[in-house]
Amino acid sequence: MLVKKKKGIFQEFYLVEILKGLYITFKNLFFARKVTLQYPEERRNYSERFRGVHYIKATNGVENCTACMLCPTVCPAECIHIEAGERADKEKYPIRFEIDVLRCCFCGMCEEACPKDAIKLSSIYEMSTTYREVYDKSFLLEQRGNK
């Protein structure tokens, strides 16, 4: 049920309310701590566990990935596409490893599922492009993280 609040003349006048509001405005304007970052010059420090651009970890120049397909299995966005193959120095390796980054929701479940410690999410968050990007294997093999 709608209850009508009875207001006196003083409240109807609103001036006091306006002054109250302006008090908060000016308090924040002049005295509060600034939260805006001057982005390209200033950077925010994110947690170590931040999930950014993917990469595949390599040991001695050889990718850790064995194309076991656990990451495409677990991926809720179905954005990982792997094709497995065989070569002389590695029984099973990914011929093709693609991440459709527009579909990726950065949940990090691929990283969690990986038995070989291969797929990682680095702390890099600058990944805007002017085209629809799909990360291919050569891009993912750049070691851009410290995890």
Partner 1 sequence: MPKCIIDGREVEFKPGEKIIEVAKRVGSVIPYFCYHPGLTVVAQCRMCAVEIEKMPKLQTACSTPATEGMVIHTKSPKTLQNQKATMEFLLINHPLDCPICDKSGECDLQDYSFDHGDAYSRYTEERRTYLDLDMGPVIKKNMNRCIHCTRCIRFGSEIAGIHEMVAVKRGNYTEITTIDGLPLQTGYAGNYADICPTGSLGLKDFRFKKRVWFLKKTPSVCEGCSTGCNLEIHQEDNVIYRCVPRENLEINRYWLCDEGRFNFNYLHDKDRIIHPTLFQDGAGQVSEWKEAFNLSKKTLAVQKTVILVGSDLTQEEGRLLQQFLPEHFPKADVYHFGTPGISSSAQDDSEDQILKRKSKTSNLHGFEKLGFKSFPGFPKGCQAVLVIRGGRAILPDLKGIPAVGLGVFSQSQASSFVAVLPGTAFAEKDGTVMNYQGVEQKLRQAILPPGQCKVLSEILMMWTHQKSSFGAA
By beta-carbon proximity to partner 1, the closer residue of 70 and 121 is 70
Six-digit token string for 103: 């579909």
- Report the nearest approach of partner 1 to the CB of residue 111 (Å): 15
Shortest Cβ distance from residue 75 to partner 1 (Å)? 12
d(CA 118, CA 74): 15
Q: Return the residue of 36, 115, 126, 132 that touches partner 1, per CB under 8 A.
A: 115
Nearby residues of 109 by Cβ (< 8 Å), 6 or more positions away: 71, 74, 75, 76
Instruction: Report the alpha-carbon distance of residue 70 to residue 113 in Å, rounded.
Output: 6
Q: Would you give the distance in Å from CA 116 to the centre of its chain?
A: 22
- Cβ atoms of 139 and 66 within 8 Å: the answer is no
Q: Judged by CB under 8 A, does residue 116 bind partner 1?
A: yes
**Binder of partner 1 out of 74, 84, 107, 109 (CB under 8 A):** 84
Among 27, 92, 96, 103, binds partner 1 (CB under 8 A): 92
Q: How far is CA 102 from CA 45, 78, 117, 130, in A?
A: 24, 11, 23, 12
Quick one: which of 85, 105, 136, 143 contacts partner 1 (CB under 8 A)?
85
- Taking the complex as a whole, the smallest distance from the CB of residue 51 to partner 1 amounts, in Å, to 23
- Which residues make up the interface to partner 1 (CB under 8 A)? 66-70, 73, 84-86, 91-92, 115-116
